[in-house]
Every structure is written in structure tokens, then in C-alpha cells.
Amino acid sequence: MPGSPKLPRVPIPGPRALPVLGESGNSFRFFSKPVTSLLALHQRHGDIAAITGGSPAMVCAFGAEHNRAVLGDDSTFLSHGEPPFPLPEDSALGRMLRENMMSKNGQDHRRLRRMLMPAFQRARILAYRDDIVDVTEASLRRVVPGGVVDASRVMLDLMLGVIMRCLFGVDVSAGGDPLGPLSIALLEGFLSPANLILPYDVPGTPYRKLLRDANRLEERLLALIEERRATHDGRDMFSALIHAHDEDGSRLSDVELVAQSILVYIAAYETTAQSLSWTLLLLALHPEILYDLEDEVDAMLHGEAPTAEQAASMPLLDAVIKESARILPATPICSFRLVGEQATLGKYTLPKGSRILLSPLVTHRMGDVFPEPTRFLPERWSRITPTPFEYLPFGAGPRMCIGHAFANLAMRLILPMALQRFRFALRPNTEISLQLKGISGAPKNGLPMDVTTRRAPRPGNTRRPKPKGEIRALVDLS
């Protein structure tokens, strides 16, 4: 890894360092095609493999046993909160990146997690049903049937509205609150390769813009904290965090509130939107399952939006969402960890400073737990009960996704609502490949799909469309 301290060599198998470019070249090659690289690394080198053979700078560990060892021990395998670029000491961007829960370890992480937890409890999450349904209805009204839409864009716009409403209690649909565009600008800045290459605070650079966007976002959130403290009536997650207190009565500081709310937005938005997009794609690739799901949704809902109870009572919907998260998890790489003290992983001793990467995408394809792993088979979920380390779309252990109940509710409300109104069909020969955006796996060129209204009855023809690109290696479409 560029800029990493030199680590002693460990005999972990992996590809040789590229000529001239060395380990940095291997890293670049790996992350430019992360999914293909992960699958190839596992196939060629086994359950513990290094991006550069012999180097513990980036070690990939696959399968339940290693997931348990790493995710279960958060005092040895630390969350790897290194910012991707240098941060000015006294800056909004620095405060957001350094003070959020994902950048913390040990007591600091546990304290923040304890403070956030009540806002994410299932009972509280179910109360967001009406907000999610309202925003979804408004968002789906903007989809014009009869043409081609980028289904992934539709889901991103929809989820932005949902998150802004449930997290901050604001409506961003009419461009009303600057929180929407500011949050998007911040996320784009985080993910922009330009900021990795040129992190200089000089006029005209994207890095300067990122610093300025972070300042404006912080200002808006500090004003919102004042408003919410004054009114005491917010039902949103932000209000819950403002009023949260620890066992000793202490509360989150303003800096902590801003940092946690930005983390929640970033962790929730793309991941949930991409999960929905991948599910729409998988259904379009398996029309026979799509039509069965439409039948289940129609029989349960008769054209109405689901209640929270109905959302949890559709067996095929549940199986489709689980299987989609197995075969195309929204976070193909779920967890980066830094070895805090010399540690053992499998048969290797890893020096302090080694980095580990875990992948649900690969673990979910291990044939002993998931037979015929490349086939999209929702019905398998009536036969299997994998352990939390075998099936981990939301991670596992003490840092497991705090928002999984929210994501599960949102997906089980939004998907039936979309399927009641529209049929999304993939055009033949569409190229579907993946890229990493932060920790989310996103379709590289979007998901262009024909969208029609659902007036037409179930077609007799269930021929599967044949896309091009990486998807063919990931999903068996025979």
C-alpha cells in the first residue's frame, strides 16, 4: 500500500508484485476490478491470500472461520479508520472523519454504539413506515413509464429522500433543504479519485471544494441541532441522537452529533439503494421469479402500500431479498481491519500494522453452505439457516451494521411498491459490471432498464435476457 510502513514478509500466497509499480500496482489493479479480483484471488490462492504474495499490507480472508476470528475480536482487529487523504487539524471534514463511530475503537466505539443503539431499535424503526411509504410514493410518481430509466438512479434518488426524511426530518424532493445537495456533494468528494491524488487546499481544486462543502454541511447541521433542541418534538433519528444519553447521563457533543449523523447518512444511502437496484436486476434476469413475486405482492396488498406487518409477512419477498444480498451483496467487501498487535490468522502470524479485508461476496459463494452458489435460488432459504459468519450482508460481531433493521424495513416496503406499479426489464446485451463506491458495489454504467406500467398480465414468455460484462461470472443465467 502506498505510504504504509514497511512490514515484515509473511508467506501468504498471492500474485507477484507487478514489475516497476510493485505492491502499489497490485493494489491499483485489484481495486479497479474488485469483484473479479476477489473471486480470482480466492480461486487461485485459497481462504487466506494477499493482494501481493508475501505482503501482509493487504490480506484477504474468506469463509466463516476467518470472519469469526477477525470480526469477533475487535480488540486485536481494529476498525481501519485511516482517512483516505490528509485532513487539516481544525476543519469540519477532519471532525466528521475522525469523530465518527467507524473511526473509533475500544471504549470509544462502545460508548458511541451504546448512545446510538436506542435510535435503531426495531420498535423505533417500525415507526418510520409512514415516512418511507410517503417518500416512495412521491418518488415513484416521478418515474415515467414507456421509456428507458436508469433503475439504479431511481433507487438512489428514492433512498436519498427516505434517508433525509427519516434521519433529519427534512424534505429534499423540491430542492427545499440544502442538506440533500450538500450531503451528495460530500459523498462525491469522499469518493473522488482526484482528492486522493491532489489533496491540496488551493483555489480551484476539488479538495478545496470538499473542505468548503463539509463546512457548509456542518453549519447546517449545527443549526438543525439548535432547532431540534428548542422544539423537542423531532421523530427523526437525528432528534433521537440529540436527546440520547449514556448511563451516567452524559450526551453526545455537537461535534459527535454531526459526525455520527454524517456516518449514518453515508452508511445507509448507497448501500440500501444498491441493494434495491441489484434486486431489480436479479428479478429482471429471472422473470419466472419476478412474476411469482408480483402474484404474492398483489394477493397480499391489493394495490395498497404494505403495512410494516405485511412487509414482514411475504415469504417470497423475504427469500428474494436474502438471496439477492447473498449473491450480489451491496458491500462485496464489508470490513477493512488493521492488526493492532501481532495476531494469528489461520496458520499465519500477522505483524502489527497488517491490513485485512473480508468479503461477503466470496464467503456467500462457498459451496458447502450454499450449494450451486452462482444460481439465484430464493427457494434455498426455506432449507438453510446459515450462521452470522457464513452469511453476513450486514457484517457481524460488535460492529455489525447498526441500521440493518431500517434497511430491511425500507427494502420490504419499497420493492413491493415499485413492483405494484412497474415492470423493469433489462435490454438484451446490456453491459453490467461492478465498481466499488466507498464500500458499496455499484453498477459501473448504471442499470438502464425498460420500464412499463404493470397493467399487462403475467406474460407467458419467461425467457431470460442475456447481459454482458462481469455479471456473467457472478450469476449463472443458463
Residues that bind ligand HEM (CB under 6 A): 79, 101-102, 113, 263-264, 267-268, 271-272, 275, 330-331, 334-335, 393-395, 399, 401-403, 406-407
Length of the chain as a residue count:
478
Rounded to the nearest whole angstrom, what is the least distance from the CB of residue 401 to ligand HEM in the complex? Answer: 3
Give me the residue whose beta carbon is nearest to ligand HEM.
403
Q: Looking at beta carbons only, is 211 or 266 nearer to ligand HEM?
A: 266
Closest approach of ligand HEM to the CB of residue 85, in Å? 20
* Comparison of 72 and 465: residue with beta carbon closer to ligand HEM: 72
**Residue closer to ligand HEM (CB basis): 185 or 333:** 333
HSE-CB at 326 with a 13 A cutoff on CA atoms is 32
Which of the 8 DSSP states describes residue 103? G
Counting other chains too, the contacts that 176-181 makes at CB distance below 8 Å and 24 or more residues apart are 178/216, 178/220, 179/217, 179/220, 179/221, 179/224
Cα–Cα distance, 259 to 255 (Å, whole number): 6
Q: Residue 305 or residue 328: which is nearer to ligand HEM going by CB?
A: 328
CA distance 30 to 45: 14
> What is the number of H-type helices and E-type strands within the chain?
19, 12
Residue 166: closest CA among 405, 400, 398, 331:
405
Nearer of residues 183 and 271 to ligand HEM, judged by Cβ: 271
Least CB distance to ligand HEM at residue 432 (A): 19
- C-alpha cell of residue 290: 419476478
Please name the residue that has the C-alpha cell 404493470: 454
Nearest residue (CB) to ligand HEM, 293 versus 409: 409
Residue type, 318: D
User: Which C-beta is closer to ligand HEM: that of 354 or that of 430?
Assistant: 354
> Residue 106 Cβ, how far from ligand HEM at the closest point, in Å?
12
Residue in the structure block whose three cell numbers are 404494505: 306
Nearer to ligand HEM, 180 or 393 (CB): 393
Q: Minimal CA–CA distance to 435: which of 262, 191, 199, 195?
A: 191
SS3 249: coil
Rg for the chain (alpha carbons), in Å?
22
Kindly tell me which of 393 and 443 has the beta carbon lying closer to ligand HEM: 393
Min dist. Cβ of residue 357 to ligand HEM (A): 10
- Shortest Å distance, C-beta 330 to ligand HEM: 4
Closest approach, Cβ 462 to ligand HEM, in A, equals 28
Residues 6+ apart with CB under 8 A from 94: 83, 87, 88
Asked whether the beta carbons of 107 and 75 are under 8 A apart, the reply is: no
In the complex with ligand HEM, which residue's Cβ is closer, 206 or 388? 388
134-170 burial string, b = 16+ CB within 10 Å, else e? ebbeebbeebeeeeebbbbebbbbbbbbbbbbbbbbb
Partnered with residue 258 across adjacent β-strands are: none
- Considering the complex, what minimum distance in angstroms separates the CB of residue 316 from ligand HEM? 19
Whole-number Å distance between alpha carbons of 221 and 227: 10
Query: What is the CB neighbour count within 10 angstroms for residue 184?
Result: 16
In the complex, what is the shortest distance from the CB of residue 364 to ligand HEM, in angstroms, rounded to a whole number?
A: 12
What is the smallest separation between the CB atom of 391 and ligand HEM, expressed in angstroms?
Answer: 12
